[in-house]
Amino acid sequence: MAANWQRGMMRLMRIANHPTEVVEIRDFTPWYRRIVFRAPDVVGAVDVFPTLWLRLWVPHPAKGDGFVVQRGYTFVTVDAATSTFSLDFVLHDVAGPAGDWARTAAVGDRLEVALTPARIDIPDGTTTLVLAGDATALPAINTWLQAAPPEVETRVLLEEEHVDRDALPRTVRENGSWEWVERSGDRGAALAEAIRSSVAPQPGVYAWAAGEKTLVKNVRGVLRDHLTLDRGRHFTQFYWIEGKSTG
Ligand SMILES: Cc1cc2nc3c(=O)[nH]c(=O)nc-3n(C[C@H](O)[C@H](O)[C@H](O)COP(=O)(O)OP(=O)(O)OC[C@H]3O[C@@H](n4cnc5c(N)ncnc54)[C@H](O)[C@@H]3O)c2cc1C
């Protein structure tokens, strides 16, 4: 029986689940929401680094009562003093268990989360950090902007065209630029073009990109062909797939 196979797998892998409780909800825009969770276990267990994410267990009512599925979300803050952490949710229009849960979340709601940290670091000698993606990558991009050493130049390029995008949370840095890119054609096609025209191939570049699968593929192409970055100088990850549920 396929019932909650994801939870079965995690149990087999001996990955612990930790309880959390919603303590605060803040909307930056009608479609981008920050939720603060109280979770002493989690806050005590995490070693914070840029892009650190967790697996959130959310109810999937369509699959039955009590059925839960896991979805990836990025830590945007971790506060030891209050034993809280926060996650930013894109409240997407197409229904999905995590988006739907976040849209109707209320203070006092309880969920479990699991941690499977995979550390990521920029290589020595990095002088320019290129950060690209869509709104789902914004939480991680903000963690990069907080953690990057001041002497490293940051170049953010985000494909996002909501009219209220300027209300989204953005970590401000002196040594950095931010470019909104309007989608045109396939996801990521305009973003790849923007990277091609505004970032010159040069030593010391490290690039990180995440978001929708086609977007990431388009960006990866330009990181390899135009910026000629080898494996150690870039990292890309699909965060979601248009038209396909995570399962
Ligand atoms: C490592 C990692 C970190 C992530 N961090 C974040 C984060 O911090 N914040 C965040 O918002 N997301 C983040 N994501 C992406 C998030 O996990 C996915 O968007 C996920 O699909 C949402 O689950 P769901 O249950 O709402 O929808 P699903 O059941 O997965 O999908 C249902 C439908 O919704 C569509 N869909 C899913 N996400 C989006 C979207 N963003 N926009 C438009 N349509 C969508 C799918 O294409 C599908 O048609 C992260 C993913 C990973 C792997």
Q: Is 73 in the pocket of ligand 1 (CB under 6 A)?
A: yes
Residue 18: what residue type?
H
85 lines ligand 1 (CB under 6 A): no
User: Please, what is the average pLDDT of the chain?
Assistant: 94
Find out if CATH 3.30.1490.100 is the number for domain 6-115. no
> What value does the mean pLDDT take over residues 3-21?
76
Quick one: average pLDDT of 175-196? Answer: 97
Query: pLDDT, tens digit, for every residue of 85-113?
Result: 999 999 999 999 999 999 999 999 999 99
Whole-angstrom Cα distance, residue 126 to residue 112? 37
Residues in CB range of 90: below 8 A, 6 or more apart: 31, 32, 99, 135, 136
pTM exceeds 0.75, yes or no: yes
Closest of 146, 197, 202, 195 to residue 169, by C-alpha: 146
1-5, 84-88, 219-223: least confident range: 1-5
> 42: Cβ–Cβ under 8 A, 6 or more apart, which residues?
18, 20, 54, 85, 113, 115
Distance of CA 100 to the CA centre of its chain: 17
pLDDT > 70: percent of the chain? 95
* Residue owning the nearest CA to atom 44 of ligand 1: 92
pLDDT digit string, tens, across residues 41-57: 999 988 899 999 999 99
- At 132, the pLDDT band (50, 70, 90 cuts) reads very high
pLDDT band, residue 227 (cuts 50/70/90):
very high
Beta bridge partner(s), residue 54: 73, 115
Q: Please give the number of the atom of ligand 1 that sits closest to the Cα of 139.
A: 8
Is CATH 3.40.50.80 what the domain over 128-240 is classified as, yes or no? yes
CA-nearest residue for atom 6, ligand 1, is 73
How many angstroms separate the alpha carbon of residue 89 from the centre of ligand 1?
A: 9
Tell me the pLDDT band of 192, cut-offs 50, 70 and 90. Answer: very high
User: Which value, in Å, is the radius of gyration of the alpha carbons in the chain?
Assistant: 18
Q: How far is the CA of 71 from the centre of ligand 1 (A)?
A: 7
Q: Decide whether any atom of ligand 1 lies within 6 Å of the 97 Cβ.
A: yes
3-class state of residue 217 by DSSP: helix
For the chain, which residues make up each domain, given as ranges? Answer: 6-115, 128-240
